[in-house]
Amino acid sequence: MSDRERLTARVEGYVQGVGFRWWVRTRADQLGITGWVMNEPEERAVALVGEGLPNALDELERLLWRGPPGARVDRVEASRSSASGSFHRFEITRP
């Protein structure tokens, strides 16, 4: 697991009701990232945790600033830590 990292991110803006979670899941699958994404209760943010190779997480973080068509990303807060290895796929979850 030492070559894998964890990305924890919160994306703010017009990111709910525009397919953002599905878009993130598709991108994560394409990049070989496992973890989860969910809408946050206040309706202006999406949270996610992803584990994968550092270059794949770099790409996902870059993509989060763009989002799917119809989204408007105002802010991305992201941090990195060691991967736990506890995820087997990337899924959409609920708060």
The set of catalytic residues is: 21, 39
Contact status, residue 44 vs residue 12, Cβ threshold 8 Å: yes
CA separation for the pair 29, 49 (Å, rounded):
13
- Tokens at 33, concatenated: 């990232």
What letter represents residue 18's amino acid?
V
Cβ-proximal residues to 15 (8 Å cutoff; 6+ apart), any chain: 44, 45, 46, 67, 71, 72, 73
